[in-house]
Amino acid sequence: MEKKVVYRITTIADYDREALYLAEMHAKGWRLREVSYSNLVVAVKYTFEKCQPEQVSYQLDFYPMKKSERASYLQLFKDCGWEHITDFNGFSYFRKLYSGVESDAEFEIYNDAAGKLAMVKRILTTRMFPILLLFLALLPVFSKFVTGGSSFSWEVFLIFIIDWVLLIVFAIQIS
């Protein structure tokens, strides 16, 4: 089967745009098969396979859970007509074929503001809390620079560099 690989830079806030992009690709005859990390550290690798062009809704859901809850979570989506495609970076990718019978709300996982807000809160809690901890770890380093520490300190410099490297790696991982 013919396949196509696309690299894109996305962030955790781009989940709606990502779903629209995947639907556009499907309408052009490329069905999503897999999402993974790429060798290009900041990009995400999308693997598509050739298919018949169709009107399909793609949706992403961010719902951290225990492995024991996973089967019932996926079954719930299956019962509502959603096909689970893959998981990547905490997001589950689903698609559903437009039938023309159902309402537009049937093609969104969260079709109300409260549901979308709950998902955004889960993303922020899970992804932003570690970044906050890194910044808190940097506070002593910044305070030493601001208060005019006596002289240059290699220890402080190394802590500063290590914290920034960890922050950058984490930011790349979550985007």
What's the pLDDT tens digit per position in 30-75? 999 999 988 777 789 999 999 999 999 999 998 888 888 899 999 9
Are 143 and 67 members of one domain?
no
The 10s digit of each residue's pLDDT in 110-166 is: 767 777 777 777 777 777 777 777 777 777 766 666 666 656 666 667 777 777 777
Enclosing domain of residue 81: 3-111
Structure tokens at 29: 């005859």
Asked, for residue 135, whether it belongs to a domain, the answer is yes
Same domain, 85 and 56: yes
CA atoms of 109 and 1, how far apart (whole Å): 30
Evaluate whether residue 16 is within a structural domain: yes
Q: Is 120 inside a domain boundary?
A: no
Assigned domain for 122 exists: no
Lowest mean pLDDT, pick from 20-29, 39-48, 103-112: 103-112
pTM over 0.85: no
